[in-house]
Amino acid sequence: MEQSTYHELAKIIPQERIRTEEPMSRHTTFKVGGPAEVLVMPKTFDEVKKTVNLCRTRNISYYIVGNGSNLLVSDQGYRGIVIQIGKEFGDIRVEGDVVTAQAGVLLSVAANKAMEEGLTGLEFASGIPGTLGGACVMNAGAYGGEMKDVLTEFTVLTQEGDIVRIPSQQMELGYRTSVAARKGYIVLEARMQLQKGDRQEIRAKMEELKEKRVSKQPLEYPSAGSAFKRPEGYFAGKLIQDAGLRGFTVGGAQVSEKHCGFVINRGDATARDVADLMSRVSEIVEEKFGVRLEPEVRRLGEF
């Protein structure tokens, strides 16, 4: 990256929140991935807007990440600016039964905050490892709940560079998609409408869901959660299991023996191992059952 660009960037974001050649393995739940040329950690709406504007005016590639819980970064890394809307972007406030949070807030943090305030409706999200921003873009869900059940308003940065508020009914939240995903909006903040509830009951529900997760999911290994989208009329994990792929391995990547819908990093996997394993699983399932599995995990960089 040109020195002049770096200097311009340092005028927008303090240098302690800018990292160069930063290993993305530190910023994804798969724990794999090469270096980002530059990684920045904005704290305000304005910092995000100005950083994106700089990238656009100088024709620099950029990519938005949250907790990196649904992301596979190539071993070669990414040449451009990774804008991490994470813990620096984590303001959360509660007014009555409405929770408003910045996009970098972890869903687990938001769910715990709601529980402390005696608010119910967000229990389903307590174990989802992503940030609110990513959850809004992809309409994240688990255990019968999804984000569209609670979201009422988004604050986004549009492709035109405007910061606007959009009611959730205009966001067309569907299975792992939204207007934000299709139009490339960057979610900055979201508002959630919850209901008054009993704190002990809310905590008990969250504990129950946690036990389900621990017993059924390979949480002891790095992964990106469900590796494939749910095909119409099927379950990805069941198809993979029925194809005889439980424990199927490529390099350090493996189809989890505990839950076949998960691809795990056994400890020394490369991004290439993960990508190759997912491709092979898709091919075998299609050969056996005529169903094409689509990756739920996003990819960044050259594969």
68/71 Cα distance (integer angstroms): 5
278/232 Cα distance (integer angstroms): 19
Please pick, among 69, 108, 168, 226, the residue that the annotation labels catalytic.
226
Q: Are 261 and 240 in contact (CB under 8 A)?
A: yes
Question: Catalytic site residue 280?
Answer: no
Question: Catalytic site residue 296?
Answer: yes
Rounded (5°) CA angle 62-65-67: 165
260/245 Cα distance (integer angstroms): 8
297/73 Cα distance (integer angstroms): 10
- 92-95 vs 98-102, strand pairing mode: antiparallel
Rounded (5°) CA angle 29-33-35: 120
Please pick, among 19, 146, 176, 191, the residue that the annotation labels catalytic.
176
Please pick, among 123, 146, 153, 296, the residue that the annotation labels catalytic.
296
Question: Catalytic site residue 226?
Answer: yes
Q: Are 31 and 265 in contact (CB under 8 A)?
A: yes
Q: Which residues carry out catalysis?
A: 176, 226, 296
